[in-house]
Amino acid sequence: MYRSTTALTVSALALTLAAPLAHAHEGDIGLSFLAGRLTTGIVEIPSPGAGEFITPGQRVFAAEFADLAGSIYADEPGFFSGPLTGQTDPTIPGGSRLGFNILGSVLRWDIATQSFAAAAPAERIRIEFAAGALTRTSPLDGSSVPGFSFDVGPTGGFDEHLDYYLDPAPGQTVPAAGIYLLTLELYLDGISGSTSMPYYTVFNFGLDETEHDAAIDYVESNIIPTPTTALILASTAGLAFRRRR
């Protein structure tokens, strides 16, 4: 599991369709298209100067919220499509549109029980793109919310980041400090059966990294599928899972 503690350095206003972020992709969500289905993985640099490669199979990702001029904001993890480990060509079909769905309400880490539960008093995560031209907000009732899709470019290789905002609960003015769990799935427009397995982003807002790591470990051990299911996916991808700090 890649644990991200990178400081926020980019303003939300700088994120547009025409101007993707220009920082390292290591730890981003690496996307590949295997057996007709989107697969999430981790972006890694195997050795200095070796370039960036995707190891498929990772489904839990870390992120940090920061206070940006009064907005609780993150732009990580990004999406990256490039060479698979040991291969040379991107695997996302060129000209595709990448979309997402929000699967249920946001959960918040309960320090006392060391588990996730419904966020109380019901903070939500808002996802935006292209300086707010596209926006969706996680539900309060646990239902799924259709997201939106965006062009990934003509070659199948891309680097893109969404904007994530932690919104206060109804009737509140600021969100509570805590660790929040967002569940999404990805798909390619017009490609039947391309929907990915759910993936999980564990956002930290104001708690220490020891607690953040505990929450990440909980998701990996208790929320993602059983080891047997994970091994089937890894076998399909032809690569074993890797954990990285």
Nearest to 197 by CA among 90, 55, 59, 100: 59
Domain containing residue 228: 12-237
Judge whether 118 lies within some domain: yes
What pLDDT is stored for residue 42 in this prediction?
87
Judge whether 2 lies within some domain: no
What pLDDT is stored for residue 50 in this prediction?
65
State how far the Cα of 48 lies from the Cα of 43, in Å rounded to an integer.
14
What is the DSSP-derived secondary structure letter of residue 122?
-
What pLDDT is stored for residue 66 in this prediction?
96
**Phi/psi at 41 (nearest 5 deg)?**
-155, -175
**Phi/psi at 221 (nearest 5 deg)?**
-90, -25
Residue in the structure block whose two tokens are 């926006």: 135
What pLDDT is stored for residue 41 in this prediction?
93
Judge whether 6 lies within some domain: no
Judge whether 210 lies within some domain: yes
What pLDDT is stored for residue 224 in this prediction?
85
State how far the Cα of 179 lies from the Cα of 208, in Å rounded to an integer.
10
Judge whether 179 lies within some domain: yes
Residue in the structure block whose two tokens are 């994120």: 15
What pLDDT is stored for residue 15 in this prediction?
29
Judge whether 243 lies within some domain: no
Judge whether 54 lies within some domain: yes
The model carries a pTM of 0.81
Digit-by-digit pLDDT tens for the chain (245 residues) are 545 443 333 333 232 323 333 345 667 899 999 989 999 998 887 666 667 788 889 999 999 999 999 999 999 999 999 888 777 777 788 899 999 999 999 999 999 999 998 866 689 999 999 999 999 999 998 899 999 999 988 988 889 999 999 999 888 899 999 999 999 999 999 999 999 999 999 999 999 999 999 999 999 999 986 444 444 444 433 333 333 33
- Starting at the edge strand found earlier in the chain, the sheet holding 53-56 runs 53-56, 37-44, 29-34, 79-81, 158-160
How many distinct structural domains can be found in the chain? 1
Tokens of 18: 């025409």
Judge whether 174 lies within some domain: yes
State how far the Cα of 96 lies from the Cα of 119, in Å rounded to an integer.
35
